């Protein structure tokens, strides 16, 4: 039986669900880490400019494709232009590849949330704790499955009773947690002569000393890569959520709100993390923490805080867990909705199928740290296990390719007017219209191509 297509009951429901997708691990650990590395305020400035130009162009396009075709990723692109239907295939392959490892990381976050909840935060700060955990054989698989099951349950309940209802509760809670921890972080007392306010300065004030043009270029590339990842475009998600966006709601306004929410949480995550890490681990500790910031440096910071550390750590990891859950939901929905639209499956059948595949793939990914351990080297020079390979393939290769394809489809084949007409069909204003046309036809594809070259290690 073909089920009736749902739609989000309010634009707020849509905005919170889409922001739930956008706000994820990237906002919380990757953004602050890049900002600290890339000259503080300079990174922020570049990021905001890119969000208002490039980011806005990509999200508007995808949401409009979804709403116009009323199809999820797999079938939407082909509806617009039959020969471009392979883009739909790519757009559903990407979330299919990401979901399994995203849930594995969700399981890691769950592990830390439980550790801090049960008062064993100090142990979590010990050297080797993280490696010890991910190389163990059963626990990571079990926690991955728990996280995946929670995600599948929400998707099983559908667009309104599942995604929309959950996002409306979790997103405001998440924002409160982030604000709470950020305020706390600013009140941390100085330690070894370093104060929280100095840390805040490192984050906010542009630091151009010793920067050459080449370094500025790399800041721009970092900011673009981060933005691209953060707004959840080029993975079929915004098309799918857009297909549930009602025709009489204002698309442009909602897109601006999503971007605002996403950037706000990323910004506040910096306020939350950078001063705390600066006070306890110093400027060098902060810059060199890299991606290990969340699972290794932060637990150390919480341990340094003394008795209150467990509570703050617990609050932090629960908050990250919420952020990861709403992102995982959107990934699974993109795949499930594609199965429903393309093959006429029921939601329950599609959900059970996708959950089973993601569970099997997740187990293989976890075993990549023990039974199936090997060390590969990626084209960009970093060492990789199964998880990193999937991440590299989807984020660095497939996503830029899909995004370039989308720009060509809209910019040159079906023309920007198709999107503009969709956005303004109830007489709404399309602000930044000229900018949109130039972005989608010329600038965005070029930027994405540079990003792709960067990913395959051309600038190394």
In angstroms, give the least distance from the CB of 203 to ligand PHE: 18
Select the residue interacting with ligand PHE from 84, 327, 396, 406 (CB under 6 A): 327
Instruction: Determine the angle formed by the axes of helices 73-80 and 85-117, rounding to 10 degrees.
Output: 150
Choose one: 108-116, 323-331, 346-354, 398-406; the region binding ligand PHE (CB under 6 A).
323-331
Distances (CA, A) of 180 to 109, 173, 176, 326: 20, 10, 6, 20
Alpha helices, H only, 157-236: 165-186, 196-204, 213-230
In angstroms, give the least distance from the CB of 21 to ligand PHE: 5
454 touching ligand PHE, by CB under 6 A? no
Choose one: 21-29, 111-119, 193-201, 385-393; the region binding ligand PHE (CB under 6 A).
21-29
Select the residue interacting with ligand PHE from 14, 17, 20, 26 (CB under 6 A): 26
Burial class (CB in 10 A: 0-12, 13-18, 19+), 195: middle
322 touching ligand PHE, by CB under 6 A? no
Cα(197)–Cα(216) distance, rounded to whole angstroms?
Answer: 26
Cα(371)–Cα(429) distance, rounded to whole angstroms?
Answer: 57
151 touching ligand PHE, by CB under 6 A? no
Choose one: 229-237, 250-258, 337-345, 404-412; the region binding ligand PHE (CB under 6 A).
229-237
In angstroms, give the least distance from the CB of 94 to ligand PHE: 9
Choose one: 22-30, 35-43, 134-142, 189-197; the region binding ligand PHE (CB under 6 A).
22-30
Nearby residues of 430 by Cβ (< 8 Å), 6 or more positions away: 252, 420, 423, 424, 436
330 touching ligand PHE, by CB under 6 A? yes
- Which one, 7 or 21, has the nearer CB to ligand PHE? 21
- Which one, 57 or 310, has the nearer CB to ligand PHE? 57
Distances (CA, A) of 69 to 72, 77, 258, 341: 8, 8, 21, 11
Choose one: 20-28, 39-47, 207-215, 270-278; the region binding ligand PHE (CB under 6 A).
20-28
Which pair of tokens denotes residue 78? 């082909």
331 touching ligand PHE, by CB under 6 A? yes
- Residue appearing with tokens 């995604």: 163
Radius of gyration of the chain (CA): 21
- Which one, 331 or 350, has the nearer CB to ligand PHE? 331
Alpha helices, H only, 4-135: 11-22, 25, 31-37, 41-50, 56-69, 73-80, 85-117, 121-124, 129-135
**Interface with ligand PHE: number of residues (CB under 6 A):** 15
Which pair of tokens denotes residue 336? 């499930």
Cα(38)–Cα(337) distance, rounded to whole angstroms?
Answer: 39
- Residue appearing with tokens 């910031």: 293
In angstroms, give the least distance from the CB of 249 to ligand PHE: 22
In angstroms, give the least distance from the CB of 28 to ligand PHE: 7
54 touches 226 (CB < 8 A): no
Cα(373)–Cα(317) distance, rounded to whole angstroms?
Answer: 28
27 touching ligand PHE, by CB under 6 A? yes
102 touching ligand PHE, by CB under 6 A? yes
In angstroms, give the least distance from the CB of 98 to ligand PHE: 5
106 touching ligand PHE, by CB under 6 A? no
Select the residue interacting with ligand PHE from 7, 53, 84, 232 (CB under 6 A): 232
Choose one: 7-15, 19-27, 281-289, 410-418; the region binding ligand PHE (CB under 6 A).
19-27
In angstroms, give the least distance from the CB of 159 to ligand PHE: 17
CA torsion sign for 318, 320, 326, 330 is: negative
Cα(70)–Cα(73) distance, rounded to whole angstroms?
Answer: 10
- Residue appearing with tokens 């009323």: 70
- Which one, 76 or 188, has the nearer CB to ligand PHE? 76
- Which one, 101 or 436, has the nearer CB to ligand PHE? 101
- Which one, 17 or 42, has the nearer CB to ligand PHE? 17
92 touching ligand PHE, by CB under 6 A? no
Positions that interact with ligand PHE (CB under 6 A): 21-22, 24-27, 98, 102, 229-230, 232, 235, 327, 330-331
């Amino acid at each position: 039986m073909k089920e009736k297509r749902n739609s989000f009951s309010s634009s707020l429901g849509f905005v919170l669900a889409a922001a739930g997708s956008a706000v994820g691990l990237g906002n919380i650990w990757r953004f602050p880490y890049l900002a600290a590395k890339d000259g503080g305020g300079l990174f922020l400035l570049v990021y905001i400019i890119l969000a208002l130009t490039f980011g806005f162009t990509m999200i508007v396009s995808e949401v409009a494709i979804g709403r116009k075709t009323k199809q999820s990723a797999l079938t939407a692109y082909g509806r617009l232009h039959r020969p471009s239907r392979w883009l739909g295939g790519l757009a559903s392959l990407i979330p299919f590849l990401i979901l399994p490892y995203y849930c594995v990381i969700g399981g890691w976050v769950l592990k830390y949330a439980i550790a801090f909840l049960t008062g064993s935060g100090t142990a979590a700060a010990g050297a080797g704790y993280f490696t010890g955990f991910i190389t163990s054989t059963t626990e990571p698989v079990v926690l991955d499955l728990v996280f995946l099951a929670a995600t599948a349950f929400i998707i099983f309940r559908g667009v309104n009773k599942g995604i929309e209802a959950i996002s409306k509760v979790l997103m405001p809670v998440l924002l409160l947690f982030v604000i709470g921890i950020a305020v706390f972080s600013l009140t941390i007392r100085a330690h070894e002569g370093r104060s929280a306010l100095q840390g805040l300065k490192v984050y906010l004030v542009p630091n151009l000393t010793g920067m050459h043009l080449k370094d500025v270029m790399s800041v721009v590339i970092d900011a673009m890569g981060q933005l691209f990842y953060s707004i959840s475009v080029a993975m079929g998600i915004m098309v799918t959520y857009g297909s549930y966006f009602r025709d009489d709601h204002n698309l442009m306004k909602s897109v601006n709100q999503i971007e605002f929410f996403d950037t706000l949480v990323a910004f506040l995550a910096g306020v939350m993390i950078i001063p705390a890490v600066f006070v306890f681990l110093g400027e060098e500790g902060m810059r060199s923490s890299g991606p290990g910031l969340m699972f290794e440096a932060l637990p150390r910071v919480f341990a340094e805080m003394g008795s209150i550390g467990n509570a703050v750590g617990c609050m932090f990891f629960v908050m990250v867990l919420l952020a990861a859950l709403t992102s995982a939901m959107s990934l699974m929905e993109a795949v499930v909705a594609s199965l429903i639209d393309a093959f006429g499956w029921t939601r329950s059948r599609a959900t059970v199928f996708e959950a089973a595949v993601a569970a099997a793939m997740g187990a293989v990914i976890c075993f990549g740290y023990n039974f199936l351990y090997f060390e590969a080297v990626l084209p960009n020079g970093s060492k990789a296990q199964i998880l990193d390979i999937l991440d590299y393939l989807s984020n660095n290769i497939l996503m830029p390719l899909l995004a370039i394809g989308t720009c060509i489809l809209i910019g040159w084949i079906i023309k920007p007017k198709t999107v503009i007409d969709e956005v303004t069909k109830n007489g709404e204003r399309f602000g930044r219209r000229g900018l949109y046309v130039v972005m989608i036809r010329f600038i965005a594809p070029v930027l994405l191509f540079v990003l792709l070259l960067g990913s395959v290690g051309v600038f190394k």
